Structure 1
């Protein structure tokens, strides 16, 4: 009887310990969650999260939002993150500037626009009623205008190559991603929801695309300024 009582007491203790342990978080759980927070940045106007580093090593230098006026109402079309090969950009900047300027200069932005350093702008759709044809039209107009600023001529045919073979049937729901990358050698690559839809070798097209974000009439002035401050931090 005494043995049964001891056994019962041990079982009870074991059950209590098990209950206590079941409510505990695994060691390092809070730490891993904190790490996850550190590894992404939130674009405040859309609430979208962007990883601070891509698989290829490019780092997030700025986040922003693209707005467009429709029937007199300002609509958030997409949030974006601007990534770059910062080691390469550092070399580009240091070859021109001996030390960091007090604040970002147009000459700094121009060096980035004209270089072939790896960059990516990751667009995440916010406007749920966006269609592929609307995206195509938006890029054709925006890039065409950017090309005209650089050369004096619009060159609509070159601008149209960015969306390449992307089908107008593609449904871009909220959260869908479009990634447009400038690869070394002045190659502009476009991915829609992870699928490559175009890959165009053109120095002008690469410069015109980056100019949309870092030129004298950027899509998001605050994002351009943040990117500029990240450039200064590279020195």
Structure 2
């Protein structure tokens, strides 16, 4: 009787396992049949996944959509080197590389690189003053990525981004104010982020496309929605003509396959310049638009909190070496 009961219980457990595995396989097949093919994901879904949603005065994630579960973008910590390094840095989630130094309109020229090699070979510290009229360079101070998740089954990386700041510009405008503030405290210093946005410092955000199905219209829609909300938050009486002009540069004939570089560059006179693979597609003269754009990365709420904090610490490192 004991042997019979034991055999019966064992067979019961085996049968339950078989049923569970069978049900699991059915669910996996069902999920595969409902998940839309990645190449057929609608531009609206892509645009929604790229922006921070607005629900009244609250920022929300799009968790109520049937096929989309948005995740917060991650970030790779970037440490500003004490000596200038010319090697590219890799955003680990996407594997996309970003140059440590960025010259306006391109990567550093051969002349700039020769000077930088001399500095590196002499092992000179980053505190060596730069003549940025000659070396018009910006330094990488933060990296991150944006992705979307399909049915909690597949993560789809849309793009990686890097934020660059010109050391000479940051030293002249914020050096004296924050030189004595410990670097570790800057990430929790709200006035510091406000000053970064207010002072029209030379900054660039580089987006590198990771997903082949990303369209220029999805990029345009995502930026228009997020920038519209931020412009209203900063100045309800702002002129939205600047946003319409900005959106008009993203023409449908522009293709952005994986690997495409999109640069958004702010100048000291409040101009936002947009380039695709080094070719300028437009420029808008608007300090409000510049501030709204970079508010997405160092404002509240940011695209990535971790990247924002890394940017504060790395910019603080630059200021300490002014």
Measured against the shorter chain, the TM-score band is 0.7 to 0.9
- The reply on whether 1:171 has 2:251 as its aligned counterpart is no
- Give the Cα separation in 2 of the matches to 1:155 and 1:140: 14
Residues paired across the two proteins, number: 199
Check conservation: 2:86, 2:99, Cα contact below 8 A.
Answer: no
- The reply on whether 1:40 has 2:88 as its aligned counterpart is yes
Distance 1:124 1:136, change over 3 A: same
Structure 2 unaligned runs (5+)? 1-84, 104-135
Deviations 1:173-224 (A, max 9, x none): 1111110000120000001222211111111011111111000110111111
Distance 1:218 1:70, change over 3 A: farther
Aligned match for 2:168, one of 84, 87, 106:
87
- Give the Cα separation in 1 of the matches to 2:190 and 2:165: 18
Aligned match for 2:137, one of 32, 35, 57:
57
Check conservation: 2:86, 2:101, Cα contact below 8 A.
Answer: no
Distance 1:175 1:226, change over 3 A: same
The TM-score, its normalising length taken from structure 1, stands at 0.77
- Give the Cα separation in 2 of the matches to 1:137 and 1:174: 19
The TM-score, its normalising length taken from structure 2, stands at 0.57
- The reply on whether 1:184 has 2:265 as its aligned counterpart is no
Counterpart of 2:292 in structure 1 is: 208
- The reply on whether 1:103 has 2:185 as its aligned counterpart is yes
Distance 1:75 1:145, change over 3 A: farther
Deviation at 1:154, TM superposition (A): 7.9
- Give the Cα separation in 2 of the matches to 1:98 and 1:59: 18
Check conservation: 1:122, 1:180, Cα contact below 8 A.
Answer: yes
- Give the Cα separation in 1 of the matches to 2:141 and 2:102: 12
- Give the Cα separation in 1 of the matches to 2:155 and 2:285: 34
Check conservation: 2:144, 2:160, Cα contact below 8 A.
Answer: yes
